[in-house]
Every structure is written in C-alpha cells, then in structure tokens.
Amino acid sequence: MRTKAPALTLILLSMLLLNGCGMKIYQSLGKDMGAYVRPVTGPEFSPVPSYKWNGKKQALVYFYRPESQWGNDEIMAPSFYVDDNHYFNLRANGYTWLVILAGQREFDIRRPFNGIEGVEHMGPITLIFDHILDTEFKVEAGETYYLRYSEVDDPESTYKGLPEGHPLSKGPARLVPEETALPEIRETRLLLDKVAVHNSAAQSIVEDNLETDYQRRRAELLEQRKEEIQALKESGDYESASWYWPWGGGPTKRLETDRKLRQLEREREERLAQESDGHWWWPFG
C-alpha cells in the first residue's frame, strides 16, 4: 500500500515526539514553499553595509538563485544549513545573506519532501531524502563570498580559492567570484520572512557559530580526556575504585584536559554574559 505524502510527514513527526532523545529530524515546515507557490517579491539587490559586520573576525556570504523556468515551477525550495542549523529555503529569483564567523564551517543543502528532509540517529536507520550539498569550507575573515545555486546552468566561472574538486566548485551550488555574481544577483530580490516561506537569514549568525565552535571544542577535549586517563592508567598514575566503594578511584595527577575544559566553560560564560549585557535580571533590556 502506498503511503500518502501528508501521512508520511505525520509519521516522521510522531517518531520525533516519541524518540526525541538523540534523534535529529531535519525539517523546514512552513518555510519550504517554492517560487511557483510564493514568488519572491522582496526588494531588489542591495549590498550589505560594511558596518553590519566585522571584517577582522567575520565574513559576509551572499546566497542567490538566478531565475529559471525550472525554478519558477518548483513547489518546494531547497533548505540551506550552516553548521547544521537551518536558516532559509532559496527560491528562484531570490537572494539573501549571512554574516558568518571566520573558521571551518559546514554547509548543507537539503531538498524537503512535504517539509521533511531527513532523520538521523533513528536507531540503526538514517533516512535522507535528497542531500544536495554536504561539505566544509574555511571561511576567511574580511572576505565576501557569493554562493550561486542553479539546477539548470553553470556559472561563467567559479571561485579560485577552492581546492581542486571541492564540492562548492561543481554541482548546483557553487562559490563564484564577484564579477560573475554581481550581474546575476542584481536581477534577484531579497527573500522576506513571510507565511509559508519563513527564514532566519539576512542577519548575523556569529553567535550560533560561536556556540557551534564551543560544542566542537568540548567534544574534542572530552575525547582527549579519555586518552589522557588511559595513558595515566598505563603509567600507574591511576587508582582503581575499591570493591566496597565503586565511586572512588581516579587519576593521581591533575588532568590537563580538565584545566582546558574549565577554561573553555569560563570563556563561554563570559561570552554569554556579554551577549546579554549582563542584565540577566531584566530580560527587556
């Protein structure tokens, strides 16, 4: 028996509710309508003012999609992710931008199926419908990038700063130089946050990037801590727990990774305090 698309969507959402622990569902419900349903009607292209980003630590990335008959007939537009966070779905004749913290960043594009794009950590099963792009790219401070998306034609040229064979130098999503991008992006319009095409773009995502970097670094240190403890056990600098007190035992020397973890937590606490201006007691400030 063939399962209808809305029924499949409900099944996947039910799985999320029942198995929320550890399971990740990729979805863009209420955001994925294509140009056939919601044509892009925002303002014409306008460069982002320099005061909106810090060229010493950040980069500016434009995302755009030239108009095409294929894109105009699209019912559901592809989703764009940075560091596994969804920000927008790119419709034909649309553009948007993000201010991104310099560093190694993950870029993903997923095609939705009734708003659902995939499920991971579902026991032994991983369900992905159409993962158009899955790559990492080192974002350099002070740079302005243009990511062009088109399923019908290739750009005149691609960005020269990519390693040979990099995913962003081939396929529908490509980094292109400014001289290639500007004539095309000037013909597009800004993606606006509206019903059925909600998005979280045209803004800085630096705070999200900082949190991602923290989580990555913490995971690395926890793995290094396991290795450090194993080394102490092999050198005899680790006491085993007694049979009558299983919570005892441990390293006889201070762990370097513990010091680094404490420092990492302090830096994060200071950053969060600065982001909230220290007014935890006054949420309206």
Please state the domain extents for the chain.
5-204, 210-275
CA distance 60 to 185: 15
Q: With 70 as the cut, is the pLDDT of residue 157 above it?
A: yes
What is the pLDDT averaged over residues 219-234? 96
- Cα angle for residues 19, 24, 28 (degrees, 5° grid): 115
- Cα angle for residues 48, 52, 53 (degrees, 5° grid): 105
Of the two residues 261 and 5, the one the predictor is more confident about is 261
CA distance 106 to 208: 12
Give pLDDT, residue 248: 78
Q: With 60 as the cut, is the pLDDT of residue 227 above it?
A: yes
Please, what is the average pLDDT of the chain?
A: 90
CA distance 177 to 155: 10
pTM as predicted: 0.87
Instruction: Tell me how crowded residue 255 is: count the other CB atoms within 10 A of its CB.
Output: 15
> Closest Cα partner for 78 from 31, 16, 8?
31
Give pLDDT, residue 10: 58
Asked if residue 79 lies in contact with residue 86, where contact means CB atoms within 8 angstroms, the answer is: yes
* CB contact set of 60 (below 8 Å; sequence gap of 6+): 48, 53, 97, 98, 99, 100, 143, 144, 145
Name the percent of the chain lying above pLDDT 70.
87
**pLDDT band, very low/low/confident/very high, at 3 (cuts 50, 70, 90):** very low
